[in-house]
Structure 1
């Protein structure tokens, strides 16, 4: 196992493999949007289910409230994610344009910025000047260098629409799962809630496992952490519904 893994790493670092990887276009990452939408969707609908059960509402009320929140919150979250990504892209574009103007108006000042940036990285003397000359020869490379090194911004393009669509789809698909037991009229209210609880717990754990695979984290630990966070949010919703029923007589 160790030998095959080492061989795989060696192959990934072969000059030709490195060349293909570095020249390949940057892919827009949608996994974080899917994870965010899935977790929030499951928390949202199961929180409604927990609150309704704690308050003593019927299954039909829990189902209606759950689907209403699923659609409204999912759309709201998708729009918010779209606006957030769009704002990031506009900020990057603005900084990029500003750096282009600075290079045109004060090229020596911008060269000095490059010089000081790479001096901090350990370059000095003729090597430092050669680095400055090479970077400043290509305006695109020059601007991208200033974006990443001076401003700490990424240079790859963002996709607000794709991020919003991914968030909305994950929110709906995962968020719908805890509501499915409430469509089974043969189950009692307690059985519906326990089934919904089991499904929600499974969703939280699976999302945590997916996150661990993508970001190379411990699988069980990541799954349990996501499960605990989702369970805490759902527990607060249940307690709120229960206390509202006990204190104010809300419910059936």
Structure 2
């Protein structure tokens, strides 16, 4: 570890810095929602483009199908993400209500749970009893401790609306990119498809690289991994369209 990095960490762990960080925790990250929406949007529209090209559909048909799927699938994904986050919030709230009820009905049993939880962490004797007494003295601390230690639920300000909007916007913005060549008049179908392919590949690569920067992973490894996953989805769509055109004569 370099000296500058060590000094930065020491500054970040000063008592005052720690106090401010705990009093004002960082808001939940929207990056996972943006990455999910961006990847799925690009996969969705380029899969439509690939399937249309493989089936021999005209550029106009590919453009109409692409935008129709972009809006419909983007809205569907946003709603799904909203419901998932909302269900998670409700799960946490139900667990919190149960813990409040258990403290009212069987407080000694709940103290024993605290005791055994921290005994597993290596505490024992008088120190363990002091920890149990301190936690159970404050009802909210008691409940939050049980949520984290017993149920494995993390406390956080989950926002279903924010998750839905971030997913939807990322889906639309990134998903529209592979459709741009089809909106340019005068391009031959093959050139439109190749340009769309290049744009989609660039989007997959950039999203993967961005993800690596956020989560501190290998930039190129993450980028290439995302590129391969998106390419596999597009390849399946192309193969499906080609087989539909070959076996059933589906073409325009």
The two structures have a TM-score, normalised by structure 1, of 0.98
Question: How far has the Cα of 1:151 moved from its partner?
Answer: 0.3
* Gap runs ≥5 in structure 1: none
In structure 1, distance between residues paired with 2:201 and 2:145: 45
1:19-168 equivalences in 2 (<5 Å): 19-168=19-168
Instruction: Summarize deviations over 1:137-161 as a string: whole Å, max 9, x none.
Output: 1111100000000000111121001
1:187-206 equivalences in 2 (<5 Å): 187-206=187-206
Question: How far has the Cα of 1:26 moved from its partner?
Answer: 4.2
Contact map agreement 1:208 1:223 (CA 8 A) in 2: yes
Secondary structure of residue in 1 paired with 2:156: coil
In structure 1, distance between residues paired with 2:53 and 2:3: 54
Question: How far has the Cα of 1:28 moved from its partner?
Answer: 2.1
Secondary structure of residue in 1 paired with 2:5: helix
Secondary structure of residue in 2 paired with 1:156: coil
Instruction: Summarize deviations over 1:83-106 as a string: whole Å, max 9, x none.
Output: 111111001000000100111111
In structure 1, distance between residues paired with 2:37 and 2:174: 8
Instruction: Summarize deviations over 1:27-46 as a string: whole Å, max 9, x none.
Output: 12211111110000000000
Q: How many residues align?
A: 252
In structure 1, distance between residues paired with 2:10 and 2:222: 28
* Gap runs ≥5 in structure 2: none
Secondary structure of residue in 2 paired with 1:153: coil
Match of 1:173 in 2: 173
Question: How far has the Cα of 1:18 moved from its partner?
Answer: 1.4
Secondary structure of residue in 2 paired with 1:170: helix
Following TM superposition, the consecutive aligned residue runs of length 4 or more in structure 1 with deviations greater than 3 angstroms are none
Within the alignment, does 1:248 sit opposite 2:248 as a pair?
yes
The two structures have a TM-score, normalised by structure 2, of 0.98
Secondary structure of residue in 1 paired with 2:186: coil
Match of 1:208 in 2: 208
Contact map agreement 1:26 1:156 (CA 8 A) in 2: no
